[in-house]
Structure 1
Amino acid sequence: MKPVDPRLLRRARAARVFLVGSVLIGIATGLLIILQAVLLAKGIAGVVLHGADISRVAWQLAAVLVARAALQWLQEVVAQRSAAAVKSTLRRQVLEHSLKLGPAWLSGERSSALTTLLTKGLDDLDPYFARYLPQLVLAATVPAGVVAWMATGDLIAATTVLVTLPLIPVFMALVGWATQAHSRRRQHALAVLAHHFADVVAGLPTLKLFGRAKAQAAAVRRVTDQHRVASMASLRLAFLSSFVLELLASISVALVAVGVGLRLVEGKLGLETALLVLILAPEAYLPLRQVGANFHASADGVAASEEVFRVLETPLPERGERTDVPDLRVISLHLHDVTVRYPERDEPVLRGFDLDLWPGEVVALAGPSGAGKSTVIATILGFVVPEGGVVVAGGSAADEFAPERWREQFAWVPQRPGLRLGSIADNVRLGRPDASDYDVLRALAAAGAPELDPAKAVGEGGQLLSGGQRRRVALARALITDAPVLLLDEPTAGLDASSEAAVVANLRATGRTVLLVAHRPALLAAADRVVEVGRVESLVTA
């Protein structure tokens, strides 16, 4: 693991500012450490050898201690604020990049793992900024200054420190290699736990219905134990590595102390110089020991940041920039020889699929589950990039246009409509924020839900509504838009026959182009054409 990841500095300005501030604070801290040692040695030697009055030295020493405390406080404040700014920046960048990658990429990611990464995972960056990086800066500045000052008084002691000091980074590197693997295992265990727990909670009603809740509780307990074992392994390694570093530093300081003591007894070294060397020697090793001790506290945060960079470095799909999107109210839409393949499937979902969609036409896509009907809609919207073939409108390929402008031509109701926390009216107005209350009521009526109160709360993910009500709210959200093309995936699922007939009639009354995925006979019979996905020919029913 790199001490400072260059990607972190490139992507978060706060990290660069923090690093510069830490260097300045580290230099000032090193100077104060040397000044403190000089004052202590001078004061003690003066009392022992001459019985001098050390009140002035004591006041100077107190001022140095206050200054060191102030620097420590400043370092903590800067670290906490920088950590908060960096986490906020990375979270925003990941969310923005995920939206640009689109639903096709998100469908291959575990939503619970991504949520855990952006919450608890990035929170582990706090110790990285608050403890590890400041100690890393001190380790790069303090030992050099201390050894240089020691060399002015006792070259032998300075040489001893200079020879033994590199042993600590060597052992730290060995420990770091082991720690990196443990941290990644712990991060993986946390992601698995989050994903498993989220799945169990989402499926709890079904599990209770079939009497499988207790079995899943045991599964959650097993996954939790795996996370506990991974965490305890990281802690055990942290304690053992701290012990090794402390032992190594203690032996090194002891070597310096023995040499200084022997030269002091022989009269080759003055008392003040000997005291100065003995006071400074531990200070040379302390920053490196603290780096090793805090390395483990930061490893989880760095592992999380690596996962963040994996997301941020995922290349974006190629997108067009044209804004002159043809008006699909008067322009037809065509899919020519479209082939779509998903990485997890051996065979293409669509192979050589053709579709002509004329203005004002109602076309139904039919076929067995998994034949690729929803994929046709995703391809038109640009959520899926076809392996072969092209989507054409007005003589131009759809991928030539800016995705935001291209999608303004469509209103989409997916298989599982998403509703946000708020009222029914809030969710309908997602299609057109400036819609009036009257427009909302009209859209609900057109969607076959005139009985729904627009002020009614929908709950988290629409939990306070039935499946049919959720689908009708989503349909109303599509109908309230000005989009010339409606892409509807099973729009009448969960509706009774009379409501379904009313919805079909209202869809025709809009005069818009409608492409719908259908299994129900009423929808198939109401379409101008039925296109069997998976077959070359189209079946004309009207």
Structure 2
Amino acid sequence: MWRESPAVRRFLLASVGYGALVSLAAIAGSVLLAALVAGVISDPSTRTVAHWAPLLAGLAAVWVLHALAQWRQARLSQRGASAAIADLAARVLESVTARDPRLIAEQRDAATTVVIDGLDGLRPYFTAYLPALFQAVILTPAALVVMACFDLPATLIVLVALPLIPLFMVLIGLATRDRSAAALTAMTTLRARMLDLIAGIPTLVSLGRAAGPADRIAELGAAHRRSAMATLRIAFLSTLVLELLATFGVALVAVSVGLRLVYGEVTLVAGLTALLLAPDVFWPLRRVGVEFHAAQDGQTAAEAAFALIDGAEPAPAGIARAQAAGARIELDGLSVEGRDGAAPAGLSGVIEPGRVTVLTGPNGAGKSTTLTVLAGLTRPDAGTVTVAGVPVTELAPEPWWAQLSWLPQRPVLIPGTVTENLELFGPLTDVESACAAAGFDAVLAELPDGGDTVLGPGGAGLSLGQRQRLGLARTLGSRAPLLLLDEPTAHLDAGTEARVLTALGERARAGATVVVVGHRRPVLDCADTVIEVASHARR
């Protein structure tokens, strides 16, 4: 995180500075308090406020500095945590979504868990664990040095007891790390199952199998609960062990100082200073051990995030340019490898401008994948796709994407108004004509606020067919010279389907290149060119 995030670097440097102030104030407060108490006890004649006013003022100033430094460090930790979480989540999303759609599908569940739930665990890491760690690095050695200046025997006792705390911290940390990794894995699996279940609820209900996955979800939930409880047990037991060790170390110092005070082997000032500094030696290490458990989940999520960021580099972007308007697109032996083999396999054909080209074939043949290759999102494993003689893989992404309009099987809809979703990818040439061609004008008339109606995530508020019409209106109203449509009439009635296909034909006659994935008879009848897409299963 230090290497990858500027926000983390700024936070760490500032946090170290405030940690040094907190340590300095803690040591100075112990020394001044010991001097004050020893002076009052040793010399009864000086028991007046006026005599000790300078020392009292200095002690108050040190305590105020200590409180202000801690408060400022806590605020800085919260800001640093928010900035680091936002930065890391953005990098995960940017890295994952920039990859081939095939990889996105494989990494979707892991990325969702890390971004939504996992990275929130970094907040205790920044607000509690790192400040405690800095205190241990700064305060513990500094307190030992000052203690040695006042009482060397007490310092030797602390040095004997002190290594026990890091030793037990390492042993406990190893067990906690495995438990945190197991908990994150269980949460990822549970979330993936829940997302798949929610997505398939309509199908399960229609088949009368809605209650089928309930037992499996319950098993996964129980596994996650057992993992979380095991982590909590380790956390509570380790806290008890660390508290006992720290208490034991301070008690040894107290006994040693008390005995040597009785025999006159140490002055009261030196003994009290050593006794007050002893907790400052053990406390930072004990706090590191306690906060380690709260931070371990976030650290595990951060490791998963960096694995997603560094897992696979995006394909190198091209720099060539080509005009889609009036361009001839040629498919020559196009093959894209999937889990079950090549789909498409050896696809060849010509997509002419001003014509409607339909890609047809059985399910899983690679029709949708062909569209992603045309869009420059998927790199072919064999063969080429050229636009006016320029391979798609060599085209600069942004200029090429600006020339096409892609309608996937499920149109992308965002929370916002209907108008904002219609113009999501840019203003439309004629909104009314596009809505009429897609049959969305009737939907607008039924909405309570028309184009100002607010939709929820994923187009909540509209039915599946209405969402399809909205996506079609957005595509038909686009100025792009290349239209890519994946099963555009799958959720439409016969009348609306005929209107959409007529509008696509008109766009083609106006000079646009229209590529449609479909297998329904009306779609095939409207085609000027039909290209058969086939796959090749792996043996």
| Whole-Å separation in 2 of the counterparts to 1:156 and 1:508 | 94
- State the TM-score, normalizing by the size of structure 1: 0.90
Which residue of 1 is the match for residue 98 of structure 2? 100
- Structure number with greater CO (CA < 8 Å, separation at least 6) is 2
Write the distance in 1 (CA, Å) between the matches of 2:332 and 2:520. Answer: 27
- What is the distance in 2 between the residues matched to 1:460 and 1:320? 31
Structure 2 residue aligned with 1:49: 42
Paired residues of 1:319 and 1:402 also in contact (CA < 8 A): no
> Are residues 397 and 421 of structure 1, via their aligned partners in 2, closer, same or farther at CA, if it must alter by over 3 Å?
same
Deviations 1:340-384 (A, max 9, x none): 112xx1422222221211221222112111111111111111222
CA gap 1:396/1:162 in 2 versus in 1, 3 angstroms: same
Q: In structure 1, how many angstroms separate the alpha carbons of the residues matched to 2:48 and 2:167?
A: 42
Map of 1:191 onto structure 2: 188
CA drift of 1:215 comes to: 4.4
Rounded to whole Å, the distance in 1 between the matches of 2:386 and 2:319 is 14
Aligned match of 2:331 in 308, 332, 335? Answer: 335
Deviation (angstroms), 1:535: 8.1
Aligned residue in 2 for 1:518: 518
Unaligned runs of 5+ in 1: 1-7, 537-542
Which residue number corresponds to residue 91 of structure 1? Answer: 89
- Which of 146, 152, 162 in structure 1 is aligned with 2:149? 152
- The alpha-carbon deviation at position 136 of structure 1 amounts to 0.4
Distance 1:431 1:19 in 2: 40
From the superposition, tell whether residues 257 and 467 of structure 1 become closer, same or farther in structure 2 (CA, over 3 Å). Answer: closer
1:535/1:102 CA distance change after superposition, 3 Å: closer
Deviation of the 1:482 alpha carbon: 1.8
Note closer, same or farther for the CA distance 1:54–1:299 as it changes in structure 2 (3 Å cut).
farther
Aligned residues: 522
1:301-340 aligned at under 5 Å gives the runs 301-322=298-319, 325-340=321-336
Counterpart residue identity of residue 326, structure 1: A
One-letter code of the match for 1:319? Answer: P
**1:268-295 CA-partner distances (Å, limit 9, x unpaired):** 2222211211111121111000000010
Contact 2:322 2:395 in 1 (8 A): no
CA RMSD in angstroms comes to 2.3
**For structure 1, which segment, 54-63 or 233-242, has the greater mean C-alpha deviation from structure 2 after superposition?**
54-63
The alpha-carbon distance between structure 1 residues 321 and 298, as it changes in their structure 2 partners (threshold 3 A), is same
2:435 matched residue in structure 1: 444
Q: What's the TM-score, normalizing by structure 2?
A: 0.90
Corresponding residue SS for 2:406: strand
Distance in 2 (alpha carbons) for counterparts of 1:458 and 1:43: 69
For structure 2, the 5+ residue unaligned runs are: 445-449
Worse-matched range after superposition: 210-219 or 88-97: 210-219
Q: Which amino acid aligns with 1:526?
A: C
CA distance in 2, matches of 1:208, 1:340: 35
Distance across 1 between alignment mates of 2:314 and 2:73: 42
Deviations 1:27-79 (A, max 9, x none): 22222222222222222222332223263244433332222222221111111
Amino acid at match of 2:346: G
Alignment check: 8 A CA contact 1:319 1:401 kept: no
Mark the CA change 1:277 to 1:367 in structure 2 (over 3 Å): closer, same or farther. same
CA contact (8 A) 1:183 1:299 kept: yes
Is the CA contact 2:438–2:469 (under 8 Å) kept in the aligned structure 1? yes
For residues 466-505 of structure 1, what are the alpha-carbon distances to aligned partners after superposition, in whole Å with 9 as ceiling and x for unaligned?
3333222212211211222221112222333333333222
Matches within 5 A, 1:118-157: 118-157=115-154
Match of 1:81 among 70, 79, 82: 79
Identity %: 42
CA contact (8 A) 1:41 1:275 kept: yes
Match of 2:447 in 1: none
In the alignment, which residue of structure 2 is the partner of 1:353? 347
Work out which of the residue numbers 368, 372, 394 in structure 1 matches 2:362: 368
| Structure-to-structure mapping, 1:273-288, within 5 angstroms | 273-288=270-285
Change (3 A) 1:364 1:285: same
Counterpart contact for 1:43–1:54, Cα < 8 Å:
no
